[in-house]
Amino acid sequence: MKPEQAYAFLREHSLETAHLGSALALLYWDQRTMIPREAHPHRAEQTARLTSLVHRRRTDPARGEALAALDGAALVRDPLAVEAVNVREWRRAFDRDTRIPERLAVELARTCAEAETAWESARPANDWEGFRPHLERVLALRREQAECLGYEVEPYDALLEEYEPGERAADIEPVFAALRERIVALLDRLRGSSAWRAPLPGATHAGSEGSPIARRFPVPAQRAFSRRVIEYLGFSFASGRLDESAHPFSTSIGPRDARITTRYDERHFNAAFFGSVHETGHSLYELGLAPEHWGTPVGEAVSLGIHESQSRLWENMVARSRGFWSFFHADAQLAFEALRDVDLDEMHFAVNEVQPSLIRVEADEVTYNLHIMLRFELELALLRGDLTVADLPGAWNERMRAYLDVEPATHADGVLQDVHWSAGLVGYFPTYALGNVYAAQLFAAAARDLAPGEPDGLEGLFARGEFQALLDWLRDKVHRHGMRHLPRDLVREATGTERSADFLADYLDAKFGALYGA
Ligand code: ZN
């Protein structure tokens, strides 16, 4: 086979698989939002059959032959050319997929499905002992998988590679350690401020009791306000939808079809509003990928960490900024009776209030990263054999005390709170905090480029309702590149600086120091 023929074959193969994948994504979206209850068994069968079709295509030996025909070909000599990037990523995925024996792939899928079902009933029942053997099986199989995949330093790296290509645990540890030190110091300063409100014992989220955001927010008004804001930020309802689901998510069906969901709570403003903006950030990334490369790696998102950098940037650095609220404050007061007597300062403080609490997904911007580090350290210890599953709840509670000074009274609010480990997602958590690190680094570079010499950076633009320049910058520096660069290289190219936790730590210090007068 000539290299040109091999490339054409692989491209067509990739596109066909991507179309199957996008049909699966649409089935998944429907299953979480619209499906009638009794349709679930057929949907499960439909999904299983399509998934196995996709898996067979991914391990098709014909792909291996075509990839071999491209080894050292002139077509792939320039490493940043579209062809070279696609071939590099097809090769990486093919090698990973074919290194896992079919027996292990099937056993993993079955064990994770059982563990997730067990978790769904174990969490509300607070039944750690019932869930423990499932987690032990999941971890044993993931360790076996890591051995099949291969690694240079340690098994964890083989799993991390799936979510954050090019990263190793040993690269991430010092970044998180530096960040943890700065955040713990910041928390100490905030605790000493007169604005500090200690969380109530057992508080599951920040900004509870007595905060204006814990008043009554009728769902229709929340729905209308969220839609207006995300459209203003650049989400187009001509190429996307906002619906409701029990667990919010975003998915991309095709180049002009981004779907996001949220969940409304009448008694808490933050969850649905910032959740919608968060998922909008994910969607803007998907919509900013090069449509002409859809279905091939150069037209795909590069990693979970970069994806999360986009969602967290819009959620926190934009929608929790003072500039944003000075522009939208009057609008919010019109939309919600509950905010009529809440001035701009109070609103800005309320949506940013820091209160160490038990549940990661409800955490404030400062403590969120500590929730992630705790999970990263524990899963790393499990994989390294330094911690047994039996000792996991104790280790969890001990770290919650050390980092956040709170301790869960139940496993449901502790070690059982996240679905990830039950679903086999080990190596996934660090991408959340990496997302925050990248978001701050990108945001600082955008401010330098778009608002040079302005003491308030991009806040001045936001206060005038100008968000388009930031979106254009992200499209140019991040979105349109797809998988051209590995995540860390992409951020270096976009910002001109090496990855560092300092950008996030500096941003948090400045923002929360001002909010708390600390
Ligand atoms: Zn996200």
Centroid of ligand 1 to alpha carbon of 64 (angstroms) = 34
Centroid of ligand 1 to alpha carbon of 416 (angstroms) = 20
- 267 and 215 inside one domain: yes
Does 484 reside within a domain?
Answer: yes
Predicted pLDDT of residue 204: 74
What DSSP element (H or E) covers 388?
none
Cβ atoms of 257 and 240 within 8 Å: the answer is yes
Cβ atoms of 235 and 284 within 8 Å: the answer is yes
Predicted pLDDT of residue 395: 98
- What's the Rg (C-alpha) of the chain? 23
Burial pattern 338-365, b for ≥16 Cβ within 10 A else e, equals bbeebeeeebbbbbbbbbbbbbbebbbb
Does 163 reside within a domain?
Answer: no
Centroid of ligand 1 to alpha carbon of 340 (angstroms) = 31
Predicted pLDDT of residue 475: 98
Q: Which residue in this structure is represented by tokens 């979105």?
A: 479
The pair of three-digit structure tokens given for residue 129, joined into one six-digit string: 């002992």
Centroid of ligand 1 to alpha carbon of 21 (angstroms) = 20
Does 462 reside within a domain?
Answer: yes
Centroid of ligand 1 to alpha carbon of 493 (angstroms) = 23
Centroid of ligand 1 to alpha carbon of 274 (angstroms) = 11
Among 83, 161, 279, 377, the one annotated catalytic: 279
Centroid of ligand 1 to alpha carbon of 368 (angstroms) = 13
Residues 6+ apart with CB under 8 A from 250: 258, 259, 260, 261, 279, 280, 282, 283, 286, 311
Query: Looking at 92, 117, 150, which one is the last position of a domain?
Result: 150
Q: HSE (CB half, 13 Å, CA atoms) of 377?
A: 17
Does 24 reside within a domain?
Answer: yes
Please tell me the distance from the alpha carbon of residue 320 to that of residue 302, in angstroms, as a whole number.
26
Please tell me the distance from the alpha carbon of residue 210 to that of residue 203, in angstroms, as a whole number.
13
Cβ atoms of 315 and 504 within 8 Å: the answer is no
- 385 and 333 inside one domain: yes
Note down pLDDT in tens along the chain; length 518 residues.
Answer: 999 999 999 999 999 999 999 999 999 999 989 999 999 889 989 998 998 899 999 999 999 999 999 999 999 999 999 999 999 999 999 999 999 998 998 899 889 989 988 999 999 999 999 999 999 999 999 999 999 999 999 999 999 999 999 999 999 999 999 999 999 999 999 999 999 998 887 777 776 778 999 999 999 999 999 999 999 999 999 999 999 998 899 999 999 999 999 999 999 999 999 999 999 999 999 999 999 999 999 999 999 999 999 999 999 999 999 999 999 999 999 999 999 999 999 999 999 999 999 999 989 999 999 999 999 999 999 999 999 999 999 999 999 999 999 999 999 999 999 999 999 999 999 999 999 999 999 999 999 999 998 888 999 999 999 999 999 999 999 999 999 999 999 999 999 999 999 999 999 999 999 999 98
Predicted pLDDT of residue 350: 96
Centroid of ligand 1 to alpha carbon of 171 (angstroms) = 22
Centroid of ligand 1 to alpha carbon of 249 (angstroms) = 8
How buried is residue 174: exposed, middle or buried, by Cβ count under 10 Å (0-12/13-18/19+)? exposed
Q: What is the three-class DSSP state of 242? A: strand
Predicted pLDDT of residue 431: 98
Does 160 reside within a domain?
Answer: no
Please tell me the distance from the alpha carbon of residue 163 to that of residue 34, in angstroms, as a whole number.
29
Q: What is the three-class DSSP state of 395? A: helix
Predicted pLDDT of residue 253: 97
Centroid of ligand 1 to alpha carbon of 4 (angstroms) = 38
Please tell me the distance from the alpha carbon of residue 496 to that of residue 491, in angstroms, as a whole number.
8
How buried is residue 265: exposed, middle or buried, by Cβ count under 10 Å (0-12/13-18/19+)? middle
Provide the total of helices (H) and of strands (E) in the chain, helices listed first. Answer: 20, 3
- In order of 127, 389, 406, 412, 415, the CA distances from 393 in angstroms are 12, 8, 14, 11, 6
Predicted pLDDT of residue 424: 94
Centroid of ligand 1 to alpha carbon of 279 (angstroms) = 6
- 130 and 263 inside one domain: no
- 140 and 282 inside one domain: no
- 110 and 177 inside one domain: no
Residues spanned by the domain of 411: 169-516
The order of strands in the sheet holding 257-262 is 240-244, 257-262, 250-254
Query: Looking at 150, 182, 211, which one is the last position of a domain?
Result: 150
Q: What is the total count of domains within the chain?
A: 2
Predicted pLDDT of residue 113: 87
Burial pattern 385-400, b for ≥16 Cβ within 10 A else e, equals eebebeebbebbbebb
- 113 and 207 inside one domain: no
Does 159 reside within a domain?
Answer: no
CATH number, position 466: 1.10.1370.30
- 128 and 193 inside one domain: no
- 113 and 175 inside one domain: no
Q: What are phi and psi of 142, to 5 degrees?
A: -65, -35
Residue type, 46: Q
**Separation of first and last alpha carbons in the chain:** 67
Centroid of ligand 1 to alpha carbon of 362 (angstroms) = 13
- 180 and 135 inside one domain: no
Per DSSP, 316 falls in state I
Does 157 reside within a domain?
Answer: no
The pair of three-digit structure tokens given for residue 518, joined into one six-digit string: 């600390």
- 476 and 346 inside one domain: yes
- 113 and 222 inside one domain: no
Centroid of ligand 1 to alpha carbon of 315 (angstroms) = 10
Residues 6+ apart with CB under 8 A from 490: 302, 306, 478, 481, 484
Does 204 reside within a domain?
Answer: yes
Please tell me the distance from the alpha carbon of residue 389 to that of residue 314, in angstroms, as a whole number.
36
**Nearest partner of 433 among 497, 363, 373, 367, judged by Cα:** 373
Please tell me the distance from the alpha carbon of residue 307 to that of residue 283, in angstroms, as a whole number.
9
Residue 362 designated active-site: no
- 302 and 367 inside one domain: yes
Centroid of ligand 1 to alpha carbon of 433 (angstroms) = 11
